[in-house]
Amino acid sequence: MTVLLETLCGHLAALYPQSESAALAQRLCTIMRIIPGGPEPEPYCNHWDEGDVYVISYADSLLSETHLPLENLQHFLGHYLAESISGVHILPFFPYSSDDGFAVIDYYQVNQSVGDWPQIREIAAQFDLMADVVINHCSSRSGWFENYRQGKSPGKGYFFEGDPQADLSQVVRPRTSPLLTKVQTLDGERHVWCTFSADQVDLDFSNPEVLCEFVAILRFYLEQGIRVFRLDAVAFVWKIPGTSCINLAQTHTLVRLLRLLIEHQRPDAIIITETNIPNQENLAYFGNGNEAHAIYNFALPPLLLNALLTGNGRHLRNWLMTLPPARSGTAYFNFIASHDGIGLRPVEGILDRAETDRLIGAMERFGGRISWRDKPDGSRAAYEINIALWEAMKGTLAGEDHWQLARFLCAHTLMLGIEGIPALYIHSLLATGNDHARVAHSNHNRHINRHKWDYPQLQALLQDDGSHHHQVLAAMKLRLAIRRRQRAFHPNATQYTLQLGDAVVGFWRQSLCRRQSIFALHNLTAQPQALALSSLNLAALDPWTDLLSDQSYEDHQGQIELAPYQCVWLSNLSDG
């Protein structure tokens, strides 16, 4: 038996002890079109470098009367960002019934309103394309679910059923909607499990037929040029009533199995797990370098937001100090804004209740909304803050001020410097504000940060140098151009957190070859801050220059003056 088949059989035996593992392993290889016995993927290989930057966007974020939304997105990426990014994450572009794409009706089709597979393949030919694998649930209007109700295949046995009389109080929920939904089937009344909403019915991966379906979907996506796979809400995928039904051992085994198959089909493919959960639980999805290639750094957005609104970086600094270096072959996926809200679960145990309440209060004053979740004891807790990041940066706990642009750029500059692969939400690049009209129309809090631009109107704003949309995009492109040339910003380059007081957050990055060092310094306040250069222990023989301003620092015993919200990338090399 080959190494691949032996490893697959081990995973399958843990997941499906009643099945014939060898036969199922061979079937999965056939579906994925893998010939066992071929070369093994190189372990602990970094499929990224300092040049990698992603944009996150819906397929229909840019609309016009003359072109399909995917064509508009391709034009925007090529015309405005070709030299600034390497990849794009297009959020679910399939036919759907709710949740802006995350209730998939058909995994093999592109939503006709945005385009078709030729447009997807064209974008994949220009950029590394990340696509969602909505693996925990699908639409109640899908063919699978209709077949389930009719007792037909494929679909029969595909969905997780629950007993309304069972004790499900320990189940961790991200929502306040009922967990079980009653449906009528040919076999009578059933209650299906719905972690997120009644329209998003949870799949039953304890049925190996469901696994085979998704392996076929993954192979199809690979054939369309998709290289990066985001496993949406994967932490909830395996259910055992009487447990929390989150982060179960079987879930981690399933991630390892999917990675094994994907990387044997395409060795440079990447799996990213989307697990908006407390920080230590999130880190577990690295496994032993054999689960996710990258994990979302979910604690970063709320901690950075808190640091800039309070002017105090203590929690952010302490978190950076405890963040373990990602081993070769793994990386953090860094972001500070996305299509979802700013999650609060990742900072449980980091921010106390009073600090979280102050943060929530400020965001509500800036026009934000709060989404809630049910706790096992029956109480409710704030799950996420829903707000456009541009609006979140309009002030501090003291109220609104005139530092919005500087504060916004400080947030992104800090994110671009820390260990990991950076990802920028399209609406942050465009400094899009809160979309209250969409929230009022849909009664869906997350729509506040999912604006749909009229693309010709946006292009006019981006040509107007007096527009804050133009100013933000220009400033971001400048930072990206600098960042992508610095080897010290490789996602796995060494990082040490500096002790510079609470008003300034700083860290030292060193390239893997140890030639380049960058001291990244960030003033979190609206007051100037002075730092003694001697506190950085700069190498005496090296010339040091701020890459962002081109200012040189020759007197290593002097001071560096940071203006309000100023950032400095102090490097011993002008080009890494």
- Helix (H/G/I), strand (E/B), else coil: 464: coil
Instruction: Judge whether 31 and 400 are in contact, CB under 8 Å.
Output: no
Structure tokens at 260: 């094994």
Alpha-carbon distance values, 348 to 299, 352, 379 (Å): 9, 8, 16
Dist CA 227 CA 230 (whole Å): 10
Alpha-carbon distance values, 153 to 36, 145, 148, 215, 250 (Å): 29, 10, 7, 17, 25
The strand pairing partners of 453, in sequence order, are 62
- Helix (H/G/I), strand (E/B), else coil: 520: strand
Task: Tell me which amino acid residue 353 is.
Answer: R
Which residue in the list 232, 340, 374, 546 is annotated as catalytic? 232
Q: At how many degrees (to 10) do helices 468-483 and 404-417 cross? A: 20
Structure tokens at 447: 């729509």
Name the one residue in this structure whose structure tokens are 């990244």: 520
- Helix (H/G/I), strand (E/B), else coil: 523: strand
Dist CA 316 CA 15 (whole Å): 38
- Helix (H/G/I), strand (E/B), else coil: 4: helix
* Residue 518 DSSP symbol: E
52 an active-site residue?
A: no
Catalytic positions, written as ranges: 232
